[in-house]
Homo-oligomer: A and B are copies of this chain.
Amino acid sequence: MTESFSRGLDRHLGDHRTFLTVGLDPRPGGLPAPLADLPETEGLRSFLRGIVEATREHCVAYKLQFASYLAFGVEGIRILSEVRKEIGKDHLVMLDLKAADIPSTMELYRTGVMDRLGFDAMTVNPFLGWETIETLLKEDGKGFFILLHTSNAGAKDLQEAQLEKGEVLWQSLIPPLRALARTGNVGAVVGATYPAALTEVRAGLGGTVPLLVPGIGKQGGSLEEVLTRAKGEGHGALLINASRSILEASRGPDWKEAAGAEAARLTRAMQGAFR
């Protein structure tokens, strides 16, 4: 039987002994100075290779923000595919696409992201309902992280809409998500910038459901809070994403070393939680 995503994550966490997920989120015009004069796609390739090399031993997973590659056009998507291959099988590699569509279209997203591009997991926006998530779930160990509470200020507009039955919208999503998570292939995304939500989600989903937490570092979330509130059972069932603090650790000639040093620092800060 194929290993479920949750079990695979636990194994990876045990191997790497860190929750650190490096967000490979480049942006046009945002490459380090020594790469800025190269042809755009060459600069982008060198940058991503350098970041992966420098962070490989300090992280358990990579998360690629889809928009970051689309912003480089068709060649950006080619590079997205190459980077996923170059990372290899020792790390989990996730595509952050926040996909949402009718069921027949979700199947096409799955084909593209998993079969064609070879990702291990992707993010999903639940706005179109549970059938759109159910259609993604197969027994092949691919993982789907459902947005519960995002890290931005505007998350409050819809996600915190006050429902008639006394809870807010995102809270009402916890029971159906817990049911889907019995497959072992469903997790949740909760922003580090909403610490109370972290506690509530971990309590509501139970200790084994994977949580993907963005928003530490430049967005203002606290790593300490995330570890205290979101860590689950086994090796923690937790992935903590850092993007800009690593990718933009330096824009100068030491960009690669600085990225590696920041990833190492974050991982050291997490390792107490493994004892």
Contact = CB atoms under 8 A, between A and B. Distances in A.
Nearest to A80: B74
Contact of A155 (B106, B129, B152, B176): B129
Interface stretch (A44-52, A65-73, A198-206, A220-228): A65-73
A103 interface: yes
A129 B99 CA distance: 16
Interface residues of A, number: 59
Interface stretch (A12-20, A158-166, A233-241): A158-166
Interface in A124-158: 125-132, 147, 150-158
A147 B129 CA distance: 13
B125 A100 contact: yes
A257 interface: no
Nearest to A169: B161
Contact of A105 (B67, B158, B161, B165): B67
A252 interface: no
A77 interface: yes
B108 A127 contact: no
Contacts of A273: none
Interface in A61-96: 65, 67-74, 76-78, 81
Contacts of A33: none
Contact of A164 (B112, B157, B164): B164
A153 B152 CA distance: 29
A31 to B, nearest CB: 14
A108 B76 CA distance: 12
Given A100-B98, A131-B152, A150-B128, A70 B113 contact: yes
A102 interface: yes
Given A127-B125, A147-B127, A161-B169, A108 B70 contact: yes
A117 interface: yes
Contacts of A163: 161-164
A78 B183 CA distance: 35
B169 A67 contact: no
B70 A78 contact: no
11 contacts: A70-B113, A98-B100, A100-B100, A102-B150, A103-B152, A127-B158, A128-B152, A128-B155, A161-B161, A161-B172, A164-B164
Interface of A: 25, 27-28, 65, 67-74, 76-78, 81, 98-103, 105-106, 108-109, 111-113, 116-117, 125-132, 147, 150-159, 161-165, 169, 172-173, 176
Given A67-B108, A129-B153, A161-B172, 5 more contacts: A65-B101, A70-B108, A71-B116, A127-B158, A130-B154
